[in-house]
Amino acid sequence: MERTLAQAAALLGMTRPKLIALMREKDLLKGNLPAYPKRDKAHLRVKNTSWFHGTHGMQYSESTRVTQSGIRWLAEQLGIDLPAIPADRRDVA
C-alpha cells in the first residue's frame, strides 16, 4: 500500500508541510519529489499522473508516494518515535 505525503504525515503525527520541511532538511526531497529516487525506491516512489484538459491539452503531474515499509524508514531517517502499535486483545484466552 502506498500513501500520499499527507497520509504519511498523519501516521507520523504531523502535518504535510512539516513532513516536507523535515524531509528537505534531511535531503530526502528535492522540491516535492524524492531527491534520490533510485537509492530510496524501496521507500519512496514517484507517481506519474496525466489527464486531458479541454483547452490546454494533456496535463502531467508527479507526486511522491510513501510505501508501507517507507513509514518506519521515514520515521528513522527523521528521528521520529512512532507510536506503539496497540496489542490485539482478541487473541487472549
Which position has the grid cell 504535510?
A: 16
Q: With contact defined as beta carbons under 8 Å apart, do 44 and 64 qualify?
A: yes
Proportion of the chain above pLDDT 70, given as a percent: 88
pTM: 0.81
Cell for 9?
Answer: 504525515
Could you state, in order of their start, the residue ranges of all structural domains in the chain?
A: 3-82
Q: What is the pLDDT of residue 1?
A: 86
Cell for 53?
Answer: 484538459
Q: What is the mean pLDDT of residues 81-86?
A: 68
Q: Average pLDDT of the chain?
A: 90
Q: Does the pLDDT value for residue 84 go beyond 70?
A: no
Helices and strands of the chain, counted as H and E runs = 3, 5
pLDDT tens digits, 28-67: 999 999 999 999 999 999 999 999 999 999 999 999 999 9
